[in-house]
Structure 1
Amino acid sequence: MWRGEDTSRTSGRMGAMPDAATGRPVGTPTPTAKDLRRWRRYLADERAEAAVYRDLAARRTGEERAILLALADAERRHEAHWLALLGGDVGRPLRGDWRTRTLGLLARRYGSVFVLALAQRAESRSAYATDADATPAMAADEQIHEEVVRGLATRGRNRMSGTFRAAVFGANDGLVSNLALILGVGASGASYAFVLLTGFAGLLAGALSMAAGEYVSVRSQRELLEASAPNPHARAAVPYLDIDANELALVYRARGMAADEAAQHARHVVGDAQAGGEAASSATGADDLETHGTAFGAAASSFAFFASGALIPVLPYLFGREGMTAVVVSTALVGLALLGTGATVGVLSGGSPVRRALRQLAIGYGAAAVTYVLGLAFGTTLA
């Protein structure tokens, strides 16, 4: 259940046999019209949420598909609860709230980490914890659902982390740095042609610098991770170790295990390997390293997004605007772009898109304002 709304303590819980006259559990007080409306809304939302998880599952395979289908089954259990309370007052089926319908549309079309991130945030808005008509088990379910979706979303975040980080940083740097550069130069009294040339020079120089920096950064990071990864050939030696005296225990101690625990674990692994078990496959290996994106991917993403971000403040000058008109239009366009990048980061991080968007806007405008004031002062000095 994803909706957040004010609810009141009304009728009893499900659990008794249904009454023949009303279809509701025996002993349930007669609900008010407000109760019935709320229950119908809960029912509609549970059905819509189950559909979202089924649509997401249809775009996945393996374990992720099984997890999403299990979540859909859990939503159907909640649906059964509201059907029992409504009894003969189910009425005409309602549509889910606009958030759930939007999420369903995205799930059918995309099924990406963005949708999972939105679902994670939606799960945190459940009203069941404060509604007397929802069971404690249902409220607990919703809290666990949030963690399940968080885990699925985290997989996607890890897969895209390197390239996405480069993209966000590149776009934000392009927006802020080129806006600050253009405003600073423009405020100094430079000509229209000079400001335009400065903008394109800043775009190209910044994009190349960002791409080179990201390539070196990601490449160096991957090389460090690869240097820390265990040698796969060491696994072949495990069955030949002395079960009572072997250096495998030192491997586990080097990774932080206590001496006794490491020795016990090493004996188990060697014994299993000598018996033909599979423990040797992970005896010397660490957890699989999360992908951090390729160096070329990060560089290309950083170049493209920096250039696209840096182009936005240049657009008014490119279309012939000058003076304060160009300044206002450029600042407004960059503001909209900053709001968009901030909101995107908020969605993917499971936080508030509005708060992240406003934070991005404040930082960007703050940097540009400082440069603009310095440009004014510099222009006054030259005059």
Structure 2
Amino acid sequence: MRHGEQHRTHRTGWLRAAVLGANDGIVSTASLVLGVAASGASTRAILVAGVAGLVAGAMSMAAGEYVSVSSQSDTERADLTREVKELAANPEQEHEELVSIYVRRGLDSTLASRVATQLMSHDALGAHGRDELGISDTLAAKPVQAAFASAGTFAVGATLPLLMVLMLPNAALMWGIAVSSLFFLALLGLLAASAGGAPALVSVLRVSFWGALAMGLTAAVGALFGVSA
């Protein structure tokens, strides 16, 4: 019989990076554009700053995700290497470790021992990686995937405020970018909630609140230094 349930845990690696990238793309670029606009800069200067922010941000997100997720991957690989040595040196003790894990999860000791024996005979390293270390193929760190997802979605998110700069007249630039960016953030929160199975309202409010705060503070700084200059 085919398993008909649909779970979302296999999406956690790329979904986290994609949401983070898109959110940062919208928030950082909209904030940057608003800050420069509030200083009284020309439309050309605003666009140059925005495009530079897009390129720098996308590369920064890619590098940051790759480095951080690679560190996680290195740790997982080191733990698995150590587990291989422990399985070779003392399989009986490793068997008992699995038994104790399954007993804590609710199995009686006899059944836990049988389960541990069968799983170790099938794939000892996989059983210990999954149940002792919490490492599985589904949740394992994937640096390249995270880097591309984060950089790509950052660029997409950053493009949206820049399009508003091109479309809006100067008189409506500040409010137009702020309102449209909040709309884009709310839409992102809705899409992320739908993909991850999370409550939609909470996700929308979360990204909108922090986006509004970032844009407001950056616009205030731009206005302050623009007036001072």
TM-score category, normalised to shorter length = 0.7 to 0.9
1:119-198 map, 5 Å = 152-153=6-7, 157-198=8-49
In 2, the alpha carbon distance for the partners of 1:356 and 1:367 equals 17
Aligned length: 213
Shift, 1:252, TM fit: 4.9
Distance 1:378 1:217, change over 3 A: same
In 1, the alpha carbon distance for the partners of 2:24 and 2:157 equals 7
- CA deviation vs aligned residue, 1:199-253 (integer Å, no higher than 9, x gap): 0000000000001111112222122112222656876x69xxxxxxxx3343256
Distance 1:352 1:160, change over 3 A: closer
Task: From 159, 169, 176, give the equivalent of 1:329.
Answer: 176
Give the match for residue 304 of structure 1: 152
Taking structure 2 as the reference length, the TM-score comes to 0.79
Task: From 204, 209, 214, give the equivalent of 1:367.
Answer: 214
In 1, the alpha carbon distance for the partners of 2:165 and 2:22 equals 20
1:281 aligns with 2:122: yes
Structure of larger gyration radius: 1
- CA deviation vs aligned residue, 1:75-113 (integer Å, no higher than 9, x gap): xxxxxxxxxxxxxxxxxxxxxxxxxxxxxxxxxxxxxxx
Shift, 1:381, TM fit: 1.2
Higher-RCO chain (CA-CA 8 Å, sequence separation at least 6): 2
1:246-285 map, 5 Å = 247-252=90-95, 257=100, 279-283=120-124, 285=127
Shift, 1:293, TM fit: 5.5
Between the two proteins, what is the percent identity of the paired residues?
31
Taking structure 1 as the reference length, the TM-score comes to 0.49
Structure 2 unaligned residues grouped into runs of 5+: none
Shift, 1:348, TM fit: 3.5
Task: From 189, 198, 203, give the equivalent of 1:342.
Answer: 189
- CA deviation vs aligned residue, 1:26-70 (integer Å, no higher than 9, x gap): xxxxxxxxxxxxxxxxxxxxxxxxxxxxxxxxxxxx642xxx3xx
Would you say the 8 A contact 1:175–1:309 is kept in 2?
Answer: yes
Would you say the 8 A contact 2:70–2:141 is kept in 1?
Answer: no
| Root-mean-square deviation over aligned CA pairs | 3.1
Task: From 79, 99, 107, give the equivalent of 1:228.
Answer: 79
Shift, 1:255, TM fit: 6.7
